[in-house]
Structure 1
Amino acid sequence: MSGPVVTQRPTSVKAAKDRGVPQMPPVPNKEDITATWDYLEMGINRVMHHFTSGIDMQSYMGLYTAVHNFCTSQKAVSPHGGSPANNAAGPQRGAHLLGEELYRHLIEYLNGHLGQLLDTSRTHSDEALLQFYIKEWSRYTNSAKYIHHIFRYLNRHWVKREMDEGKKSIYDVYTLHLVQWRQNLFSPVSGKVMEAVLKLVEKHRNGETIEHSQIKAVVDSFVSLGLDDADPTKPTLDVYRYNFEKPFISATRSYYQAESQQFLAENSVIEYMKKAVSRLEEEEQRVTMYLHPDIKAQLTTACNETLISSHSTLLRDEFQTLLDNDREDDMKRMYGLLSRIVDGLEPLRNKFETHVRRVGLAAVAKVAADAEKLEPKVYVDALLETHTKFQGLVKRAFNDEPEFTRSLDNACREFVNRNEVCKSGSNKSPELLAKYTDVLLRKSGTSVEEAELEATLTQIMTVFKYIEDKDVFQKFYSRMLARRLVHSNSSSDDAETSMISKLKEACGFEYTNKLQRMFQDMQISKDLNSGFRAHCEEYEHKIDSQYSILGTGFWPLTAPSTTFAPPAEIQKDCDRFTMFYRNKHEGRKLTWLWQLCKGEVKATYSKSKTPYTFQVSAYQMAVLLLFNDKDTHTYEEIASATSLNRESLDPALTITLKAKVLIAEGGKVGPGTTFKLNYDFKNKKIRINLNVAQKTEQKQEEAETNNTIEEDRRILLQSVIVRIMKARKRMKHSQLVSETINHIKNRFVPKVADIKKGIETLLDKEYLERLNDDELGYLA
């Protein structure tokens, strides 16, 4: 037989007597059931009323023995009369009846005890009632634990057998105490207790100091009374939820509805947001301090609805003002509040997108007074400045949320592709971005740190991400890359490789395939030049020359638009290289791209005796070398000697005239003009670059590039349509148009009219055929 789980040390009999607690008499004769119950009632009463005095082991053993005696007495009377000896069930049936009698006595005792407490509770109200309830609950439950152990024999035998047989309303002794408390005391006073709790919470919300432990004790009491009638061993939160959570949430809603309306009537929206954030944090702390975790979800919902949802329109109306005034902290606060309610942020995202688009368009309009003279760097910096500003805002104020990032991307895509500059041509943004990249990657007088250059290239890729016509960027970029490589004008091979890697990561291998092949050709050309120099060691009067072999299919270059007769010295070296190359690669054809060739000539003719070095194009070199023979040449003589047409000769002559290397006599550059060597030529620089493209040449090249883009798009559209139809065999016309757009939109946004035109062309060429019901079929 085990003893009770005693929560405080049993005191001695002498100690109990010293405190005025009545001494327990000896255990009565077990055959005297009435006396036995009187003895038990005295013990129970002692535990209930003098629990703080404790109970000594002798008294405990006496009470335990009395319970055992009561349940095992042989003098139980059958319900039909007669002695146990005459009963069919014998002594076992008698023990059963005595166990039931003892259980009934205990219930009657508890009813009487709780009735007295109920009468006393009616003399209290508010905090006094709360204190009374908490004090009596603590005394009652602690006493119940002792009584539960004293009645362990009843629990182990009679109660267990009754419960095993499925009897309802039979509980172990401790649970019986809780059930009786719930029925006799809790039900009548819970409403008033809860009113006292809510008044205490309201004081706390108003900034007054309260005893948290009181509310915590009430919560624990309500939770403990959640007993499942079907299975008392399984606790539930039904009592707590109905009697505590429900009124608490209702009171919370009423409190914050009144407070928020009054506060907004007297304060600004910005101040209200600070107040709301503070209140929400307080309620979260309140759950931690003295509420049950189960209430958190409902409490959060109630606070969100009363503090945020009810005033969401006012908050959203203020958002534009915050954007206009860059109130980042307030926007962060508003984001935190509206993110707590369903669809609270969608209107903010729409306003944010509209605002970013408007700011971006204004930034471009500010720098785009003259789109033709617009510097690529100024344009790209205007785009980046807007993006960087609002990207930081999304990160800091909007928690880097993907939906806000999507709004930012949508806005940037709009002002990058459809702005003031793009009115002069939809290809302007990619063209200017490519030109800015060319400026960065080209050698210049100002050196840029490698880390700084890499960071700038990363920023360029940010703008590139938003460009819709990526094929336009590719076309301009490849032409400019070709010039940098051919003229050995790249600032850094590492930077060039890094940029191509970035483009490859963004658009795939196919997008950068030709760019990478250009680098391979240049490496092959270096090896070839080394072999050619070794080959020329046996010759005299060698020219310091270097040749680049460029694959026709990979370089965006075209054959010269004019005939050209190079100077004899140059022609001799070119013929020698041609023979050398053909010996290595039989059957290959070389096409000389004279318009890209350049060189240096040294001049010692000036009266100042200064040895100048002119950096010139091949055409300019041919013109200047003519003046070794005589000082004056007519336009017709120069044209005849060089075999150049006017489109190529005139720009070459114009640059030399502007630099005052030659003097024109007879008017403008053209037939009838005589050109004379300027012996009075002076310049602060020793090395003078005459190989400068004129604006007319640049415009012509841009026009040619744009024409090439249109032709490439037309071919790409047709090839994509054929690939789709080859895979699908049959498709509806509208489906084919839609799928073609999906395939191509990563390179450029195709027009539906161009797709339809491509389909018609393929029908004419018999790649496709018309079928019934607006369907197209593929012809193998």
Structure 2
Amino acid sequence: MPFPVASDLNATWSFIQPGLEFILGAQGDQGVTPKMYMNCYTAVYNYCVNKSRHGATATSIAASSDSNSYSLAGAEIYAKLDVYLTQFIRALKKEPSETFLEFYVRKWTRFTIGAGYMNNVFDYMNRYWVQKERSDGRRDVFDVNTLSLIKWRSEMFNNNSDTLISEVLDLIEMQRNNEIVDTSLISTAIKSLVFLGIDVQDLKKPNLVVYISYFEKNFLEKTGEYYSRESSQYLQEHNVVDYMKKCEARLAEEISRSNNYLEDHTKKHLLDILNKVLIEDHANEMYSQFLTLLEQNETDHIQRMYKLLYRLPATLGPLADTLEQYIKEQADKAIEKVKLASESQAEAKVDGKPTKKSAAGAVDPKSYINTLIAIYNQYNEVVHQAFNKDTRFIKSLDNACRHFMNKNSIAIPTPKAKCKTPELLARYADSFLRGTSKEVDTVDMNPENLMIVFKYLNDKDAFEEYYRRSLAKRLINGNSKSEELEESIIQRLQEENSIEYTSKMTKMFSDMKASEDLKANIKDHVSESIVKDFNPLILAQSMWPFTHMEDYDLNVAPELQAPFEKVVEIYGAKHNGRQLKWLWNHGRAELRANLSKKGKAPFVFTVSNLQMMILIAFNKKSTYTFSELHEIVGAARHTFESHLLPFTKYKLLDQSPPGPENTGNADTTFTIVEEYKSKKLKVNFTSVIKNNEAKQEEDDANKEIDETRRNYLSACIVRIMKSRKTVKHNELINEVLPQTLSRFHAKIIDIKRVIDQLIEKQYIQRIDNNTYEYLS
């Protein structure tokens, strides 16, 4: 067929229409031939070029170039195409055997392919006439591909949208019910809605208005109804664990479905709906099962519950609260068992009558601390494995640990008692740091446990005081297991708190090293015939937890005066004006006693300083009365008597008349045995000394803690007042409380007392009932 006259619109359209039929699929599966395709393109091109050269139509916009009249043509053929597409789409018919969705997808697929090719046929018109019209503000003119989609939307989709969307949603529900469906039908239909969302103002701008208005809204509504119905029914017939597994499966299915054929815009809304109907609406059922899973240690199921609820962070709050309360309850039960065991072991008989020590006093530090650690480790593992180290649950664990480590039936046996955990922790540390402890008793004790409990202590200052006192004893008695271990723990305490926190302990090590130098200087002045090893220690009074006790003032034996005097001389020469006070109640001595049978090695007695003076006196004569011996040795009478008793108890001294009731009589005599009978060559006489030092030491520690706290509060208050000048009472309290948390939890009543003291000392003054003023 010859090409039509280029200027004849009707002839040109009659020429290209059969080709358009083949391009759009009106002739079934038979497509357009390359020749027919090129003929259509050429005919459109010839028409547009010819019309542009020989004059414009009424709807064309003219442009001048030199002396010739030239205008872009295309309006007439564009109008012809518009009418043709309307008629073509209206003529499409569904086969009796297919659903509307199948018909729609089949025709849409073929139509959009044809529209692409048809767009190329009208390429010249698109590039010149259409582009010119749109640049001049015509928003009712489109390129041929867009025009095709708009016609499809108005003639096919708008008239059948309810049927189409209903059938798509029915197929999705069938798929959810595990029926086999053709998912390509769903995917193609949904994608068509995206293509049909055309913004006539800006054809390049993505527009989901059709997709959202017709599909997304209905899809989300149907999804919510479906899963709300299914979840309620499923929970009536299955347990919570099975339901959680079902939730995981359903969520995975929906995520896969959304990735296959949903737009990104829908995915978030879909997850919100699923989270609402599957998780939030049934969170209470999960909460009710949580305690059971904890009791059964079902970590996997707890993790499953956490992962589901994590999708809605607000639902995790009750779970975290429940965990915190549960840990507290389990800890209380475990600690109560330790308390009961301690009370039963503490029962003793005194004068034939049973007595019972308090649980706090009788409790074994190892059992108590290991119980705290076991509880921490158990639930720390749960938090790490089941809750993926979620900060909410770490906080719950921390809150619970801080509670049960500071407030339990052992830590606070009476309502007004101070917390015993710092003291017990210090005793625990002393057990594994002392070189004299048996390995079997300390096998499961370590610095890690110490630091875990320390982290949760409210009264860290109390621990520092007790730990410092036990450290001091280990240092002066030389029975630390390892100096490196001691220093590493102090370093960790410093990192956990502050340099100030460990300053006294650090200075104690400095004193020990300085004392080594003093010992070396004195060594040359000590007669080894009497003293084999002399180890004097110079301790700074403000750093060490020792006080000079007049009850222990001794008369140094003449044989030993030389080395003691030399210490005073050498130290005094180096540090002029400093005063030395001997701490006779501390320190130990080892004496070699030739009281064995001939041919046997001499005994080695471990004694206190006071006991050493007693035994050295027997070098001069073998028998003394109580008054004679007391006068030689010195010290307070009751102190002297308590150190003398072990010698008579273990038959090193023969007492006459015998009996403890006669020991303190002035004329009671004591005679040293000629041959001491003991299976051990090393005998320790210090372990059974009866005194009140332990009780006195506890009182001193408590006084030191109270005094330190008052000073700390005073410093905080003065610092605040100095910077603020005037502060209201409540504001001052609220500023002081947080500053004390790193060392102890201050009570408001204590802060008020310190304020009153500062007023008395004229650091501050009260200017009305509710305001304080700083006095410079």
Return the TM-score normalized by structure 1: 0.90
Match of 1:344 in 2: 315
Q: Which residue of 2 aligns with 1:153?
A: 124
Write out aligned runs for 1:209-288 (5 A): 209-288=180-259
Q: Deviations over 1:160-207 (max 9, x none)?
A: 111011112211111111111111111222322222222222222222
Q: CA deviation at 1:281?
A: 1.6
CA contact (8 A) 2:595 2:603 kept: no
CA distance in 1 between partners of 2:587 and 2:526 (Å): 23
2:585 match = 595
1:68 & 1:324 partners in 2: Cα distance?
A: 82
Of 304-313 and 669-678, deviating more is: 669-678
Name which of structure 1's ranges 319-328 and 473-482 shifts more when overlaid on structure 2. 319-328
Greater CA drift, 366-375 or 285-294: 285-294
In structure 1, the residue matched to 2:41 is 64
2:76 to 94, 101, 111: 101
The offset of 1:340, in angstroms, is 1.8
Out of 15, 20, 29, the residue aligned to residue 39 of structure 1 is: 15
Give the stretch that moved more between structures: 375-384 or 744-753.
744-753
> Does residue 365 of structure 2 align to residue 373 of structure 1?
no
1:634 equivalent to 2:625? Answer yes
Whether 2:409 is the aligned partner of 1:420: answer yes
In the other structure, the counterpart of 2:535 is 546
Q: 1:120 aligns with which of 82, 86, 94?
A: 94
User: In structure 2, do the counterparts of structure 1 residues 627 and 237 end up closer, same or farther at CA, with 3 Å as the change threshold?
Assistant: same
CA–CA distance in structure 1, aligned partners of residues 164 and 267 of structure 2:
21
Report the alpha carbon displacement of residue 413 of structure 1 after superposing the two structures with TM: 1.4
SS of equivalent residue, structure 1 residue 320: helix
**Counterpart residue identity of residue 770, structure 1:** R
Cα offsets for 1:637-660 (capped at 9, x unmatched): 222111111342233223334444
Amino acid at match of 1:702: E
Q: Tell me the SS of whatever aligns to 1:771.
A: strand
Alignment match, 1:4: none
Query: CA separation in 1, counterparts of 2:192 and 2:57?
Result: 41
Alpha-carbon displacement from aligned partner over 1:65-99 (angstroms, at most 9, x marks no partner): 2112222445879669xxx9xxxx99645x54xx1
Q: Which residues in structure 2 correspond to 1:180-199 (within 5 Å)?
A: 180-199=151-170
Residue 410 of structure 2 is aligned to residue 439 of structure 1: no
| Structure 2 SS opposite 1:599 | strand
Indicate the SS of the match to 2:446. helix
- Aligned pair 1:709/2:705, yes or no? yes
Partner of 2:596: 606
C-alpha separation in 2, matches of 1:91 and 1:180: 35
Structure 1 residue ranges without an equivalent (≥5): 1-24
Q: Aligned partners of 1:524 and 1:432: how far apart in 2?
A: 31
> 2-side partners of 1:671 and 1:413: how far apart?
55
Q: Distance between the aligned counterparts of 2:192 and 2:479, measured in 1?
A: 84
CA distance in 2 between counterparts of 1:246 and 1:654 reads 95
2:315 is paired with a residue whose SS is coil
Between stretches 67-76 and 282-291, larger displacement belongs to 67-76
Q: In structure 2, how many angstroms separate the alpha carbons of the residues matched to 1:728 and 1:631? A: 74
User: Which secondary structure state, in structure 2, belongs to the residue aligned with residue 776 of structure 1?
Assistant: strand
Task: Work out the number of aligned pairs and report it.
Answer: 739
Give the partner amino acid of 1:734.
N
User: Matched residues, percent identical?
Assistant: 36
Structure 2 residue 547 is matched with structure 1 residue 558: yes
Q: Which residue of 2 aligns with 1:330?
A: 301
CA distance in 1, matches of 2:282, 2:300: 19
1-structure distance, mates of 2:223, 2:604: 89
CA shift for structure 1 position 387: 1.1
Offset of residue 569 of structure 1 = 2.2
Summarize the Cα distance change of 1:383–1:56 in structure 2 as closer, same or farther, 3 Å threshold: same
Tell whether the 8 Å contact from 1:353 to 1:411 is kept in structure 2 after alignment: yes
Q: What is the CA–CA distance in structure 1 between the aligned matches of 2:653 and 2:362, rounded to whole Å?
A: 29
Cα pair 1:566 1:642 within 8 Å, conserved: yes
Q: Distance in 2 between matches of 1:705 and 1:654?
A: 28
| Aligned residue number for residue 684 of structure 2 | 689
Deviations 1:199-249 (A, max 9, x none): 222222222333333322222212111111322221211111222222211
Matches within 5 A, 1:367-406: 367-369=338-340, 370=343, 371=359, 372-406=361-395
CA positional deviation for 1:687 = 1.9
Aligned-partner SS, 1:216: helix
Question: Hey, what's the Cα distance between the residues in 2 that align with 1:449 and 1:186?
Answer: 84
For 1:614 and 1:77, the matched residues in 2 are separated by 130
Counterpart secondary structure, 1:315: helix
Distance, in Å, in 1 between the alignment partners of 2:621 and 2:168 is 114
For the residues of structure 1 that align with 2:313 and 2:582, how far apart are their CA atoms? Answer: 69
Query: Matched residues in 1 for 2:246 and 2:57: separation?
Result: 73
Retained in 2: the 8 A contact 1:417–1:426? no
The answer to whether the 8 Å contact 1:443/1:489 transfers is: yes
1:483-562 aligned at under 5 Å gives the runs: 483-533=473-523, 535-536=524-525, 542-562=531-551
Corresponding residue for residue 15 of structure 1: none
Distance 2:649 2:449 in 1: 38
Work out whether residues 416 and 429 of structure 1, in 8 Å CA contact, stay in contact via their aligned partners in 2: yes
The aligned counterpart of 1:475 is: 465
Shift of 1:599: 1.2
Q: Is the 8 A contact 1:26 1:62 kept in 2?
A: no
- 1:615 alignment partner, SS class: strand
CA contact (8 A) 1:601 1:613 kept: yes
CA shift, 1:51, in A, is 8.6
Q: 1:670 aligns with which of 664, 689, 706?
A: 664
1:763 paired with 2:739, answer: no
CA change 1:90–1:185 in 2 (3 A) is farther
Tell me the amino acid that sits aligned with residue 705 of structure 1. A
SS at match of 1:359: helix
SS of the equivalent of 1:343 reads helix
Report which stretch shifted further, 283-292 or 407-416: 283-292
Q: 2:571 aligns with which of 570, 576, 581?
A: 581
Of the candidates 616, 630, 644, which is equivalent to residue 625 of structure 1? 616
Quote the RMSD (CA, aligned, Å): 2.5
Which stretch shows the higher mean deviation, 210-219 or 363-372?
210-219
Q: Is the CA contact (8 Å cut-off) linking 2:220 and 2:269 kept in structure 1?
A: yes
TM-aligned CA distance change 1:136 to 1:761, over 3 Å: same
Aligned counterparts of 1:667 and 1:540: Cα–Cα separation in 2: 37
Superposition pairs of residues 645-660 of structure 1, within 5 angstroms: 645-660=636-651
Structure 1 pair 720–79 and aligned structure 2 pair: CA distance change class (3 A): closer
Residue 7 (structure 1) aligns with? none
Contact 1:599 1:616 in 2 (8 A): yes
